[in-house]
Amino acid sequence: MTGSVRLPILLAVIVLALLPLGATSNTLLNFMTFALIVALAAQGWNLLGGYGGQFSFGHAAFFGTGAYAMGLLQVRFGLNPWAAMPVAMLLGAAVGWAIGFLAFRARLRGAYFALVTLAFAEVFRILANAWAFTGAAAGLLVPLRLQAANMQFEDKRLFYWLVLAFVASALVLTAELARSRFGARLVALRENEDAARALGVDTLRVKLAAITLSAGVTAAAGGLYAQKSLYLDAAIAYGPWISVDALLAPIVGGLGTVFGPLIGALALLGLGEISKMALGNLFGGALPGIDLIVFGILLILAVAFAPRGLLGLFDGLVRRAKPAQGGEATP
């Protein structure tokens, strides 16, 4: 199992790492960096939603906490971003634990859990938008100091590779988790929570560990986003867009799989960019929200026709092709 996953991870990371060597377009590099940040947030969502079956609609709460922690620790406390990053992840994980503790102890499941996470994200958004400490509605500006020591690079590819390193670590973490005892308990809980509990799984503890880990990974994505754009406001950090992207990518790519979030994020954001360009040209000028319309339709289509995502579709094609090659096609 591990052997079969480690090699694809290595190959995927090598391909993604080589990409900016060939293509030097700034637009493409910006897009790829952003897509990988979303993939990282989605990888975090997948740990809880894909493996644990707990659909959060409010991962913005963790993304935003990571982003604001990264920005505020630098701006208000003068902390080095390399040191701020782990603190941002810990803070995000702590928020995840706290929300999980409240929600799971109240036995919220399904739609109730989705709603309460959404409400928490909205509370954070309103607070960040009103509080002077976070820069309120004006937002937070991280000063530009292009030095590797400040995690700001002259060569944008270095930041891309840094983000890729985070994504690679998250892929390995997911693969390790999937084959661990903890992962098995998490999947058992997703399939049937009552049965899992009857079998002696401490479901509250497993869910709490999953949401804490999930939030920490998503907070790392938030921290990287803050460092990439050097500007934050409440609508960016705690806005519904990241909650939607984080859950959409694994669903489109393949729920509860190692590569689902990465493939989903690349496919989704790529398609979003293409439709923005194509349909924008068609209607003469940019059409706001057109990429999101495509996302929404994609979500419905994925649920309707590809419940196991793009990876599932690919699997199905391979399986259908194989017996045909062997000449023993079944009717």
287 is an interface residue for other proteins by CB under 8 A: yes
- The minimum distance between CB 277 and other proteins, in angstroms, equals 15
186 is an interface residue for other proteins by CB under 8 A: no
123 is an interface residue for other proteins by CB under 8 A: yes
Measured CA to CA, the distance from residue 220 to residue 62 in angstroms comes to 9
304 is an interface residue for other proteins by CB under 8 A: yes
Nearer to other proteins, 14 or 106 (CB): 106
120 is an interface residue for other proteins by CB under 8 A: yes
Query: Of 89-97, 146-154, 263-271, 296-304, which part binds other proteins (CB under 8 A)?
Result: 296-304
Beta pairing partners, 141: 231
Among 16, 114, 178, 221, binds other proteins (CB under 8 A): 114
Q: Which of 40, 63, 164 is nearest to 156 (CA)?
A: 164
Residue 309 Ramachandran class (φ > 0 left, ψ -120 to 50 alpha, else beta)? left
- The minimum distance between CB 299 and other proteins, in angstroms, equals 4
Binders of other proteins in range 68-107 (CB under 8 A): 102-103, 106-107
**Strand, helix or coil at 53?**
coil
Query: Of 34-42, 118-126, 142-150, 202-210, which part binds other proteins (CB under 8 A)?
Result: 118-126
Among 28, 138, 293, 324, binds other proteins (CB under 8 A): 293
Token pair, residue 192, equals 């049937």
Measured CA to CA, the distance from residue 134 to residue 132 in angstroms comes to 5
Residue 245 identity = D
DSSP letter for 171, please: H
Task: Count Cβ neighbours within 10 Å for each residue of 72-82 and write b for 16 or more, e otherwise.
Answer: bbbeeeebebe
- The minimum distance between CB 327 and other proteins, in angstroms, equals 34
Token pair, residue 97, equals 């634990």
290 is an interface residue for other proteins by CB under 8 A: yes
**Strand, helix or coil at 199?**
coil
Binders of other proteins in range 41-70 (CB under 8 A): 53, 55, 57
**Strand, helix or coil at 140?**
strand
Among 7, 23, 130, 324, binds other proteins (CB under 8 A): 130
Size of the site for other proteins (CB under 8 A): 42
Measured CA to CA, the distance from residue 234 to residue 245 in angstroms comes to 17
Measured CA to CA, the distance from residue 260 to residue 310 in angstroms comes to 8
Inter-residue contact 262 to 15 (CB < 8 Å) = no
Task: Tell me the H-state helices in 230-308.
Answer: 234-237, 240-253, 260-282, 290-305
- The minimum distance between CB 41 and other proteins, in angstroms, equals 17
Among 129, 203, 214, 257, binds other proteins (CB under 8 A): 129
Nearer to other proteins, 154 or 194 (CB): 194
- Could you list the residues that contact other proteins (CB under 8 A)? 53, 55, 57, 102-103, 106-108, 110-112, 114-116, 118-120, 122-123, 126-127, 129-130, 240, 244, 251, 287-290, 292-293, 295-301, 303-304, 307
